Amino acid sequence: MGVMRLIGEIDPTRPLLVLAVAEEAAHLTSGLPVLLTGMGKVNAATAVATVLARGPRPTAVVNLGTAGALKPGFAGVTHEVSSVIQHDLDSAMLASLTGVTYGGPIGLTGRGPVLATGDLFVADEAARARLAEEADLVDMEGYAVAQAVRQTGLPVRLVKHVSDDAGEGAAKSWRESVDDCAKELARWAAENL
């Protein structure tokens, strides 16, 4: 089945936590079921769609994870995302070709930053500067999780702790900070779910 792993049982009276990798879930203590999807949009979307189709369905889905900051002022804080876009799908071009908008922005209930999701790990200044024109944070799963959950009509929340500045050195920074990020995500879950 690939990298997808469900820890615990989905409970129709409680939310499902969705994270990309075990390192991000290392400190969760809420007792809520956890779906580890693997990294990237395809893994995230297929894992979420699979478990929600199989049932039972949770009350909501909360995607917890790490994100890179595209602008100053977001580091070291856990943010609930207000909207999410895909940065590696050319929605404008597809709309001009077909007359249909694929992969448009998804509005969420959070009051925080705009998240850009894509399969590219952003680790260079040019990509970071381009993305900063339309978003505050960047990750590799959020949009896919939100889109898969929205198809089912369930509520979805995206909660991201900033692990790096999405520039040069981002990969090293993520590896060094992911455990501290996991502690902050666990604290957020304990206080808010």
Would the pLDDT of 67 be above 70?
yes
Q: Phi first, then psi: what are they for 48, rounded to 5°?
A: -65, -45
Give me the mean pLDDT over the 125-137 stretch.
91
Dist. CA 168–CA 128, nearest whole Å: 9
Left (φ > 0), alpha (ψ -120 to 50) or beta: where does 153 sit? left
| Of 59, 173, 160, nearest in space to 115 by CA | 160
Write out pLDDT tens, residues 4-40: 999 999 999 999 999 999 999 999 998 999 999 999 9
**Cα gap 116→84, rounded to integer Å:** 6
Scanning the chain, the segments in alpha helix (DSSP H) are: 22-25, 41-54, 91-98, 125-132, 142-150, 170-192
Sort strands 61-69 and 156-164 into parallel, antiparallel or unpaired. parallel
Residue with tokens 């039972």: 56
**How far is 104 from 125, CA to CA, in rounded Å?**
25
pLDDT single digits (tens) 133-168: 999 999 999 999 999 999 999 999 999 999 877 677
Residue 44: both structure tokens together: 């995230």
Q: Between 84 and 172, whose confidence is greater?
A: 84
Q: Looking at the domain 5-186, which fold is it?
A: Rossmann fold (3.40.50)
Positive or negative, the CA dihedral 145, 150, 156, 161 is positive
Dihedral through CA 152, CA 56, CA 188, CA 46, nearest 10?
-50
Give residue-wise pLDDT tens across range 89-116: 776 777 788 888 778 899 999 899 999 9
What's the number of CA atoms in the CB half-sphere (13 Å) around residue 124? 3
Residue type present at position 192: N
